[in-house]
Structure 1
Amino acid sequence: MTALRFGRVAAMGAVAALILFAGVWGSWGTAQHVMLAKGHEAGTVRVTRCAGDVCTGPFTPTSAGARARAHVELGKSVAVRAGRTYDVVLRPGTSDAVRSGPAGILYAWVPFGGALLLASVVVAGGMRLTRVAWVLAGSGAVLLTATFVTL
C-alpha cells in the first residue's frame, strides 16, 4: 500500500515537474529577449497594419546602436491594435519585435502562468498536497491577472 502511494506521488510529481518545465520552456523563448535586453535593439513600433497573426509597422530606435527600420513584425495579440505605439525589443538578426517593459515581461510569462494552474490540479489530485496546489494556483492566477491588467 505504501509502495503504491509512493509510486503515485512520484509519478504525479514527475508529471507536475514536466508541466512546469514545459511552461518555463515555452515562456523563455520570448522572455529572454525582454528580460535580457542589454545589447538588443530597443525602440518603439507604431503599428500600421494587422493581418492574421502579425502586426507590422516602422521601428524607431531608442537604444545606442539600433537602426531605424521601415518594417518590423510584432505578434498580434488582443492587446496590439493598429494605430498604437509599443515599446519593443528586436530579436537578434531578425525583424521580429517583442514587447518590452512590464507588459512585455508579464506577457512573455503567460505560458508559465498556465502551467502553474495546470500543475496545481495535478499536485492537488495526484499528490494530495492541497496547500502546495493552492500556492501554485494562486501564483498562476496572480501572474495571468497581472498580465491582463497590464496589457
Structure 2
Amino acid sequence: MPSAVSSSRGSSAALRLGRFAVMGTVAVLILIAGVRASWGTAHYVMLTKGREQGAVTVESCGEQTCTGAYTPVSPGSQPRAEVVLENNAAVAKGRTYTVVMKPSGTEAVRSGPAGILYAWVPLGGALMLASVVVAGGLLRTRPAWVMGLSGVALVTAAFLVV
C-alpha cells in the first residue's frame, strides 16, 4: 500500500512536469509567432536574388504608407512613377531609401542593414516576452537572460540603424 509521502512526491513530480510542458509550449509558441511575424518582411530583404532592387525617393506620406518614385538599380528592373513604402518612424518625406520590390510590383520594402534589422523587430519583442515565460514558468534564469538581452539588443540595434 503506497504511503502518503510517496503519493505526494508523485503528484509533485507530475505537477512540475505539467508546468514544464505548458510553459515550454507557451515559450515556443511566442517564438514561432515572432519568427512568423518577422519572416513576412524579412524574406524579401534577406533573399534578394532575382528580386527588383532600387531606391525610392519619398514624395508624400499618409498615416500608414509613404509613396514615391522608384529608380531601379538591378538589371531588368523598370522605373516606376509611384511605389508604396510602409510609413514608420524612420521614413521621412524627401529622403531616398534603398528598397526591394515585392512581387506585386507596387509595394517596396527597405533593404540593407536597416531593412534587415527592422524586419526582425517582432522577433526581438518575442524574445523579450518569451524570456519572462522561461524565467518565471520554467525557472531557467540563464537562458531567460540570454533570450531577453538578445531581444533588447535586436530592438536597440534596429532603433539605432533605422
Q: Same fold (TM over 0.5)?
A: yes
Residue 74 of structure 2 is matched in structure 1 by 63
Residue 7 of structure 2 is matched in structure 1 by none
Unpaired stretches in structure 2, ≥5 consecutive residues = 1-11
Structure 2 counterpart of 1:102, which letter? P
2:81 is paired with a residue whose SS is strand
Residue 139 of structure 2 is matched in structure 1 by 128
Q: Which one of the candidate residues 88, 100, 118 is aligned to 2:99?
A: 88
Q: State how far apart, in whole Å, the 1-side matches of 2:105 and 2:134 are.
A: 40
Q: State how far apart, in whole Å, the 1-side matches of 2:49 and 2:23 are.
A: 39
1:10 is paired with a residue whose SS is helix
Residue 125 of structure 2 is matched in structure 1 by 114
Structure 1 counterpart of 2:77, which letter? A
Deviations 1:90-141 (A, max 9, x none): 0012310000000000000000000000000000110000001000001000
Residue 40 of structure 1 is matched in structure 2 by 51
Per the normalisation by structure 2, the TM-score is 0.92
Unpaired stretches in structure 1, ≥5 consecutive residues = none
Residue 13 of structure 1 is matched in structure 2 by 24
- How far residue 52 of structure 1 moved from its aligned partner, in angstroms, is 1.3
Per the normalisation by structure 1, the TM-score is 0.99
2:31 is paired with a residue whose SS is helix
Residue 148 of structure 2 is matched in structure 1 by 137
Q: State how far apart, in whole Å, the 2-side matches of 1:95 and 1:71 are.
A: 7
Q: State how far apart, in whole Å, the 1-side matches of 2:41 and 2:105 are.
A: 14
Q: State how far apart, in whole Å, the 2-side matches of 1:117 and 1:93 are.
A: 33
Q: Which one of the candidate residues 29, 35, 55 is aligned to 1:24?
A: 35
2:128 is paired with a residue whose SS is helix
Q: State how far apart, in whole Å, the 2-side matches of 1:131 and 1:104 are.
A: 30
- How far residue 62 of structure 1 moved from its aligned partner, in angstroms, is 0.3
1:47 is paired with a residue whose SS is strand
Q: State how far apart, in whole Å, the 2-side matches of 1:140 and 1:48 are.
A: 34
2:114 maps to 1:100: no
2:117 is paired with a residue whose SS is helix
2:15 maps to 1:4: yes
1:48 is paired with a residue whose SS is strand
